[in-house]
Amino acid sequence: MKTEGFGGKDFITLLEWSKEEVETILDVALDLKRRYAMGEYHDHILRAKTLFMIFYNQSLRTRNSFEAGMTQLGGHAHYLDPDKIYTPALPGKEVAYSTERVSDVARVLSRMGDAISIRCYGDPVDWVYGGANELIRNFAYWSDIPVLNMECDMYHPFQALADVLTVKEKFGGFKGVKFVMSWAYSPSIHKPRAVPQSAIIAASMVGCDTVLACPKEMALDPNVLAACEKYATMNGSSFDVTDDFTGAAEGAHVVYPKAWAATPIFQPPVGENDPARTQEIFDSYQDWKATREYMSLADPSAIYMHCLPADRGWEVDDDVIDNTDPESGWRSVVYDEAENRLHVQKAVMSLVM
């Protein structure tokens, strides 16, 4: 039976966690990071505990940061490839002797380990917006152990935690920090909305002056935008949406240009299931790109962020993403940001497992 408080709680979206809980996660992450840097091991925290990881999509940072994190906490991560097990499926999506209903998988794994983490978006759910989130929530419904969202089609909460932890490290806090999440061009149209939606949720929740810059065809979930407005009011900060790519960057402390899917790629009723139209839309915004000229519009101490992998040459120029010199003024912090995935994930696992 799942408990109240941190212990046993699912981690699917930050919208289901309070600001105070998120601040606790960041504090724990910083503490674990400092201790590890000083050579203090904490392999007693999750000793002999097991995390099951189900990846419907490929991964570099997510898989390795979870595996390394579990090792450092004294536990073990089991990698489960859906193509090598009976693929967990929702009712009505089953194929005889090929799939297994999520309710059965969740209840079996609950008897054998201590948490289940899942990554699923895009093709595995036929680009039905919300389809992957429904799958993860079905796991959570049937599971007696915490379910962790390693990225779905709506949310990527662990990436968002790493983003705001990086901001906290670079600026000392969030008040007065202008955080700009912007769409950027990529020739690949198959990009979920999870990263930008979770980034603006996290930034507005902790009190940044948050800006979403995107063409109208890349508009994000209205429920997410409404939540960001609520957080801005709560914090006495601001939340703005604009279609002005360069204007949004002016005076920004954090710039985060990244591609995500245009609405037509999704199945009805959200979209039109029209990849050709989606590609046409993408290609009409090729000037939405992080260049040195773009970075010069930001605050002199600005940081460039990206969840990685970045589409170099399209989303960003090499001399932007590779400019990590702290003496240069604005700089890229993408590798600090990637490292922080490890620390925030260790914090969440320590708290809920």
**Residue 224 near residue 248 (C-beta atoms within 8 A):** no
DSSP 68-92: HHHHHTT-EEEEE-TTTS-EEE-TT
Section 294-312 average pLDDT? 97
Residue 4: predicted pLDDT: 60
Q: Which helix (H) or strand (E) holds 147?
A: strand 147-151
Section 249-253 average pLDDT? 98
pLDDT in tens, 116-173: 999 999 999 999 999 999 999 999 999 999 999 999 999 999 999 999 999 999 999 9
Lowest mean pLDDT among 25-34, 100-109, 246-255, 324-333: 324-333
**Residue 311 near residue 187 (C-beta atoms within 8 A):** yes
Only one residue has tokens 């450092």, namely 72
First-to-last C-alpha distance (Å) of the chain: 13
**Residue 332 near residue 303 (C-beta atoms within 8 A):** yes
Section 263-290 average pLDDT? 96
Section 210-217 average pLDDT? 98
Q: Where are the domains of the chain?
A: 14-155+341-352, 159-339
Lowest mean pLDDT among 1-15, 131-145, 308-322: 1-15
Nearest CA to 267 among 101, 167, 153?
153
Distances (CA, A) of 209 to 124, 127, 231: 35, 32, 10
Assign 179 a pLDDT band (cuts: 50, 70, 90).
Answer: very high
Lowest mean pLDDT among 26-30, 88-92, 211-215: 88-92
Pairing, β 76-80 against β 209-213? unpaired
pLDDT of residue 204 exceeding 80: yes
pLDDT of residue 3 exceeding 90: no
Query: Of residues 3 and 77, which shows the higher confidence score?
Result: 77
pLDDT of residue 39 exceeding 90: yes
> pTM of the prediction?
0.96
**Residue 56 near residue 124 (C-beta atoms within 8 A):** yes
Distances (CA, A) of 330 to 161, 207, 209, 247: 22, 22, 19, 17
Section 183-204 average pLDDT? 98
Nearest CA to 119 among 161, 156, 77?
156
Name the percent of the chain lying above pLDDT 70. 99
Token pair of 37 as six digits: 């840097």
Q: Give the amino acid at 300.
A: P
pLDDT of residue 18 exceeding 60: yes
**Residue 101 near residue 94 (C-beta atoms within 8 A):** yes
CATH number of 159-339: 3.40.50.1370
**Residue 181 near residue 211 (C-beta atoms within 8 A):** yes
Task: Examine domains 14-155+341-352 and 159-339 and report if their fold is the same.
Answer: yes
pLDDT in tens, 253-275: 999 999 999 999 999 999 999 99
CB burial of residue 37 (10 Å; 0-12, 13-18, 19+): exposed
Beta bridge partners of 255: 180, 304
Assign 1 a pLDDT band (cuts: 50, 70, 90).
Answer: very low
> Measured in whole angstroms, how far is the alpha carbon of residue 195 from the centre of its chain?
4
> Helices (DSSP H) in the chain: which residue ranges?
19-37, 61-72, 102-110, 131-142, 157-171, 194-206, 222-235, 245-249, 275-283, 292-295, 318-321, 334-352
Assign 328 a pLDDT band (cuts: 50, 70, 90).
Answer: confident
Section 325-335 average pLDDT? 91
Beta bridge partners of 182: 213, 257
Pairing, β 147-151 against β 254-258? unpaired
**Residue 229 near residue 221 (C-beta atoms within 8 A):** no
CATH class of residue range 14-155+341-352: alpha beta
